Amino acid sequence: MIILSKDTRIAYRNYLRDARAKALSDAEGFQDVLFTIENLGNALFGKAGNLGFYKDSLLNLAKKSPLAFDMSTKFRYLHTPFDVLYAIVRVARNDALHQGAYARHITAHTVELSIALEDALSNDFATVSDFMVKTIISAELWQPLAFLRQQMLTNSFSYLPLFNAGQWNLISDHSLAVLLRRPGGNRNAVLGMTLGEAIQNGAIIPDQVKLVAPDKEIQDALGLMNGYPVLVHHSICRDEIIGILTAFDLM
- For the chain, domain boundaries: 6-124, 129-250
CA distance 50 to 90: 9
Pairing type for strands 241-245 and 207-208 reads unpaired
Task: Give one DSSP letter per residue of 63-79, joined into a string.
Answer: TTSTTTTHHHHH-TTT-
Q: Write the pLDDT tens digit of every residue in 89-121.
A: 888 777 645 556 667 778 888 999 999 999 999
Question: For residue 100, what pLDDT is reported?
Answer: 66
Q: Write the pLDDT tens digit of every residue in 191-226.
A: 999 999 999 999 999 999 999 999 999 999 999 998
Q: Output the pTM of the full model.
A: 0.83
Question: For residue 98, what pLDDT is reported?
Answer: 57
* CATH class belonging to 129-250: alpha beta
Q: Write the pLDDT tens digit of every residue in 7-49.
A: 999 999 999 999 998 887 776 678 889 999 999 999 999 888 8
CA angle 206, 231, 164 (to 5 degrees): 40
* Residues 210 and 230: beta-carbon distance below 8 Å: yes
* Residues 57 and 45: beta-carbon distance below 8 Å: yes
Number of H helices, E strands in the chain: 13, 6
CA distance 43 to 131: 21
